[in-house]
Amino acid sequence: MKVIATLVLGVCAAAVVARESPKFDEYYTIIGIKAENKRLDNYAIQLKNSPNSRGFVLVYAQDERTVKRAQARARRAVRYLVQTRGVDPTKVKWRYEAACGHETISLYILYPDLADPQPDLKCLR
């Protein structure tokens, strides 16, 4: 009986953690613009269907030489969301985090009670 109760509690706890994760998507910037736009289209739909939410784009550079390129990609993504997909510009922002060994963009959907996402600790050594 104890084994079943532990298993059920473990499954319930995992479900709660999954629902609390505000990360919607993450991708390396080596994907093409068309593939990125498809991801951003899905992201925009979710943001627009969640009126109390806000979007947050977190970007990492490959290394110190690619910081400006990574930042430009994040700005382009936000501009696409606002100008092409009609996302309210006050509901989406971006932040450059660090050079991390890979150029990555993480898309978050945050609700009023959630703070901005924390940086990936593996990248902040």
DSSP secondary structure string, 18-30?
Answer: HHH--EEEEEETT
Spatial contact of 26 and 43, defined as CB atoms under 8 Å apart: no
For tokens 């473990």, the residue is 10
Q: Average pLDDT for residues 44-49, to the nearest whole number?
A: 94
- pTM of this prediction? 0.78
Topology at the third CATH level for domain 22-123? 60s Ribosomal Protein L30; Chain: A; (3.30.1330)
Confidence of residue 5 (pLDDT cuts 50, 70, 90): very low
Distance from C-alpha of 48 to C-alpha of 76, rounded to nearest angstrom: 19
* pLDDT, tens only, 53-103: 999 999 999 999 999 999 999 999 999 999 999 999 999 999 998 888 888
